Amino acid sequence: MFKVRLYNTSLMSNNDFNALMPLLVLAGASVLVMLLIVARLSHRLIQLVSLLLFVIAFISLLNIRAMLPYQVGSLFMIDSFGAFMIGLIIFSGLAVNVFSYIYFQEKEEGPKEYYVLLFLCTLGACVLAVSNHFVSLFLGLEILTIGLYALIAYLRARNHSIEAGIKYLVLAAFSSAFLLFGMALVYLQTGALSFAGMANVIGAASVPPLLLTGLGLMLVGLGFKLAVVPFHMWTADVYQGAPVPVTAFIATASKGGVVASMLRFFAAIDGFRSEQLQVVMIVIAIASMVVGNLLALRQSNIKRVLAYSSIAHLGYLLVAFIPGGDVVPQAVSFYLLTYFTATFAAFGVITILSGAESDAEELVHYRALFWKQPALASILSVAMFSLAGIPLTAGFTGKFYVLTTGIGQGFWLLASVLVLSSVVGLYYYLRVVTTMFAGTRDLLPGPPPKYPVFLGISMVALFVLTFALIWLGVYPDHAIGVVRDLQLLVTAPATSFAE
């Protein structure tokens, strides 16, 4: 009798397979692309197939909407928040994939393994977004990070690329050790590895010191992946050294996945009851906003500007994160949506402008860009406006949402630092925009565009992103309506047991 029950509850049912379909598609896609590489197909074909596979993964995600929320074993909790985050992450993979062809076709490295790693990284980030258990959290994080080691150092003949890869390797491995040690301490205190189990053990009691130590160590590990201030040292160098599409991936999907899992974990154990932990998070948030914006001021390299900008943005995100409560998943998802869209628009333009030898990373390259490439310059301007949070762009709506969440719970200090540091941030975002309009129009236009098909696809993607940026800024009601319905669940709803 016992055996039969074990069989029923632990092996995967059809429903489990359906619910996990987006992850299965991503995992299968990485194997499929590897087989295509073995068959020595061309870059173009592999690119198009991966594009198709990302679209299939996205469609399979839309298919599971009806069955949410759904718990798979003890490892995954696929609720509407998790599904939204998976959607964002798969969308990031798709966007990175679109921009990759133009970037890698001219490079000296065969870009094929790149797509395998891209699928695996996307899979890791998606696993993070729905993980409800330390095992899946750590495995997802490691799949993501190990894939990123290789992606960052992908152009291995270039010194700065290898340097960035080594930096990320050493620091990420070190931070994983912190995370693991923190998890071990939490396990020692609670005796549970699943979030729900921990929540049961901790209950409403005060947070014991051992648990607090464990949470602190975990915060170091997760903070590194999010590149929030004291753990931000690697960011600028890695952003600069990595290939541009990979940089875009680090800035978006990898952080989105970690934010989602961190939010799920903190919601499960109700981590903000502890005042010490809250104070630490507030300090981290304020430091990230201030330091990120100040360090960006003097940069002359646009990848570094975006690196520091991402530090500041994660600080803004923490303002929505810290208050705790039901509104947090909504504010966080909406903010990530606006941040992802703007970041991809910016990195997409950089990718298209990059040449075979070097990336278009120095701000000097952008002088008079408007007179040469008005479309690209306008898109980059909109992206910068949105990152700066200027009204009528998505960034403003996102920041507004974050602010209302913070103020609604009485976190005035965080809110005022957010506003003040955003004002400082305006300087360097607008500097990029003014650079593009500076100079005269008699500059010679660049060489004729290559790869018209893929350039076309990339431009379409950029226009869609720009449209989304403006649409989210002018008429955000629809997106906010979607986000409002998101719920983050820790324990399984009663219905999923009744199958």
Interface residues toward other proteins, by CB under 8 A: 6, 10-12, 20, 27, 30-31, 34, 39-42, 45, 72-76, 109, 113, 116-117, 120-121, 123-124, 127, 135-136, 139-140, 142-143, 146-147, 149-151, 153-154, 156, 165
Please say which residue, 39 or 66, places its beta carbon nearer to other proteins: 39
How does DSSP classify residue 207? P
User: Shortest approach of other proteins to residue 144 CB, angstroms?
Assistant: 9
Sequence letter at residue 136: S
With contact defined as beta carbons under 8 Å apart, do 257 and 340 qualify? no
Token couple for 265? 């974990």
Please say which residue, 66 or 157, places its beta carbon nearer to other proteins: 157
Please say which residue, 32 or 470, places its beta carbon nearer to other proteins: 32
Q: Which residues contact 46 (CB under 8 A, 6 or more apart)?
A: 33, 36, 37, 112, 115
User: Shortest approach of other proteins to residue 42 CB, angstroms?
Assistant: 6
User: Shortest approach of other proteins to residue 159 CB, angstroms?
Assistant: 14
Helix (H, G, I), strand (E, B) or coil at 301: strand
User: Shortest approach of other proteins to residue 180 CB, angstroms?
Assistant: 14
Phi, psi of 362 (to 5 degrees): -75, 140
Output Rg (C-alpha) for the chain, integer angstroms.
22
Name residue 301's beta-bridge partners.
362
With contact defined as beta carbons under 8 Å apart, do 244 and 300 qualify? no
If one counts every other C-beta atom within 10 angstroms of the C-beta of residue 357, the result is 9
Name residue 70's beta-bridge partners.
78
User: Shortest approach of other proteins to residue 200 CB, angstroms?
Assistant: 17
User: Shortest approach of other proteins to residue 137 CB, angstroms?
Assistant: 11
Token couple for 53? 């596979």
- DSSP secondary structure string for all residues of 246-272: HHHHIIIIIHHHHHHHHHHHHHHHTGG
User: Shortest approach of other proteins to residue 376 CB, angstroms?
Assistant: 31
Please say which residue, 3 or 441, places its beta carbon nearer to other proteins: 3
What counts of helices (H) and strands (E) characterise the chain?
23, 2
User: Shortest approach of other proteins to residue 39 CB, angstroms?
Assistant: 6
Please say which residue, 131 or 421, places its beta carbon nearer to other proteins: 131
Please say which residue, 139 or 282, places its beta carbon nearer to other proteins: 139
Please say which residue, 261 or 409, places its beta carbon nearer to other proteins: 261
Rounded alpha-carbon distances, angstroms, from residue 245 to 148, 189, 308, 346:
12, 42, 17, 11
Please say which residue, 27 or 242, places its beta carbon nearer to other proteins: 27
Q: How far apart are CA 355 and CA 178, in angstroms?
A: 39
User: Shortest approach of other proteins to residue 34 CB, angstroms?
Assistant: 7
User: Shortest approach of other proteins to residue 239 CB, angstroms?
Assistant: 19
Please say which residue, 152 or 402, places its beta carbon nearer to other proteins: 152
Q: How far apart are CA 307 and CA 295, in angstroms?
A: 10
User: Shortest approach of other proteins to residue 213 CB, angstroms?
Assistant: 19
Token couple for 88? 């964002």
Give the residue from 347, 308, 378, 346 showing the smallest Cα distance to 103.
347
Give the residue from 167, 166, 160 showing the smallest Cα distance to 358.
160
Please say which residue, 152 or 311, places its beta carbon nearer to other proteins: 152
Q: How far apart are CA 411 and CA 320, in angstroms?
A: 10
With contact defined as beta carbons under 8 Å apart, do 98 and 457 qualify? yes
Please say which residue, 155 or 285, places its beta carbon nearer to other proteins: 155
